[in-house]
Amino acid sequence: MTRRRQIYEGKAKILYEGPEPGTIIQYFKDDATAFNAQKKGTISGKGVLNNRISEHLFTLLATIGIPTHFIRRLNMREQLVRQVEIIPIEVVIRNVAAGSLAKRFGIEEGTTLPRTIIEYYYKDDALNDPMVTEEHIAAFGWASQEEMHDIADMAIRVNDFMAGLFAGVGIRLVDFKLEFGRLFDGEYARVILADEISPDGCRLWDLKTNEKLDKDRFRRDMGGEAEAYQEVARRLGLMPEDDASVLDLDEHRKSRGK
């Protein structure tokens, strides 16, 4: 078996050189981090579930005209994506007060916001991903005004679509993070959706009980992280009810070094 060249390893994924020019293989890990990697742990089967959930969401978003880097899922933990130049901005879309927003403004967590809020954060763990404005982004040349218009437009469309999708399976889309990249065609570059969309980067609450079905269970030492991720996958129709056989198979393969 030919050894693949590793390009980058992040907190939740490893990127490998793809089989064709302009492609990347994205491998999803079980590693879990919080507070800019100050807290570390493992959520069993997380990589498998995030791979499936992200594939599902990116595929659906493509059907409504959102351009993405996703090409296809390769196996339980890997997917083939287009190589892009990541714009160093995390885009956070908030529908409900939670996390840092609730703390910053003294709002009770769970309060529905009067309108959807889009926030931007500069991607730099060493600086604790500081919040930035469009003025900072323009001044430091991280993205052009035209690119930011495209990003904001896509973020709202993604939010509208996903809020409805999750509501349909009894989940409240509280907030979530998106990342974007530039896809080059010669000298021309267009902005497309990149990275992943999964319970790692979304706050997902049960509509009736407000039970957390996302990485907040890890952040807040609540336990039940794996079960929460599985529940999201089940509600999206990606796992049969009460059947974790796909995760058992993955653990068996890992134990054999495959």
Integer CA distances (angstroms), 120 to 104, 151, 152, 187, in order: 15, 11, 10, 27
Judge if 105 and 200 occupy the same domain: yes
Query: What does the mean pLDDT of the chain come to?
Result: 92
Q: Are residues 67 and 129 in the same domain?
A: no
Task: Please compute the mean of the pLDDT values over residues 124-134 and round it to a whole number.
Answer: 95
On whether the CB atoms of residues 54 and 196 are closer than 8 A, the answer is yes
Confidence class of residue 1 from pLDDT cuts 50, 70 and 90? very low
Query: pLDDT of 2-51, one tens digit each?
Result: 578 999 999 999 999 999 999 999 999 999 988 777 789 999 999 999 99
Flag whether 168 is in a domain. Answer: yes
Based on the fold, state whether residues 49 and 96 are members of the same structural domain.
no
Same domain, 93 and 48: no
Are residues 30 and 113 both part of a single domain?
A: no
Q: Is 216 within a domain? A: no
112 and 63 within one domain: no
Residue in the structure block whose two tokens are 């930035």: 132
Number of separate domains in the chain: 2
Does residue 245 belong to any structural domain of this protein?
A: no
Q: Which range marks the domain in which residue 76 is found?
A: 6-84+225-240
Cβ atoms of 89 and 120 within 8 Å: the answer is yes
**247 is a domain residue:** no
In a domain, 233, yes or no: yes
Q: What is the pLDDT of residue 245?
A: 53
Looking at the structure, do residues 73 and 185 belong to the same domain, yes or no?
A: no
In a domain, 155, yes or no: yes
Provide mean pLDDT across the span 198-208: 97
In this prediction, residue 187 carries a pLDDT of 85
**Domain assignment present for 159:** yes
Residues 111 and 143 occupy one common structural domain: yes
Answer yes or no: is 187 within a domain.
yes
Place of tokens 């990149």: 194
Contacts of 198 (CB under 8 A, 6+ apart): 49, 50, 53, 54, 57
Query: Mind listing the pLDDT tens digit for each residue in 56-96?
Result: 999 999 999 999 999 999 999 999 999 999 999 999 999 99
- For residue 166, give the CATH number of its domain: 3.30.470.20
